[in-house]
Chains A and B, each alone.
Chain A
């Protein structure tokens, strides 16, 4: 089985830093993915952590701690266009499709 926990909503100010946490339980473990989805749009792949530690891609970073079954997405220098829903997805097997939670809705305010 699999369970995911993310905050449902986060609000942050333009230019600030925000961290979106994800805790999970899966029967197996193959890493942690993050996706972004704007209202009315398609989900887009942001990052994948296969190993513990921090992965940085521009203003976005993703962290994983396998021993704690925990990860987070860090968004720096927030821009209005970052307002979107963010989903973490831990695959539980090599041939198992991604299962998404309800996601975190980020609102960036001026």
Chain B
């Protein structure tokens, strides 16, 4: 029973390119959450999705960032025209329901470096 799978583990992009981060939730989990973490900082919530629906995107920057969780396939976090400030670790988590026990399972993260 694989956990939350994120890929790639490391991603290097030049300024202005697009970054595409993938997350496959645990089997049986239909809720996906994306978080961003800067060095020495906590986890900052970005977006919460269920299959084909965005439930809460209050933490997403208004421009350049988008997320989806299609009926088939992984959840994708897309960052267009990346800038140096986008360099961070991006974690995806999944849960079985909206969280009566709030036990999220996190993936190993994608470390994005913008050069």
Contacts and interface: CB of A to CB of B under 8 A. Distances in A.
Interface of A: 30-31, 33, 35, 41-45, 48, 50, 87, 89, 91, 94-103
Contact of B42 (A31, A91, A100): A100
Contacts of A97: 33, 45, 48, 56, 99
Contacts of A87: 42-43
Q: How large is the interface on B (under 10, 10 to 19, 20 to 34, 35 or more residues)?
A: 20 to 34
Contacts, number: 58
Interface of B: 33, 35, 41-45, 48, 55-56, 91, 93, 98-109
Contacts of B43: 43, 87, 100
B16 to A, nearest CB: 28
A102 B42 CA distance: 4
Contacts of A99: 45
A16 B100 CA distance: 33
B102 A89 contact: yes
Contacts of A33: 102-103
A9 to B, nearest CB: 11
Nearest to A87: B42
B91 A94 contact: no
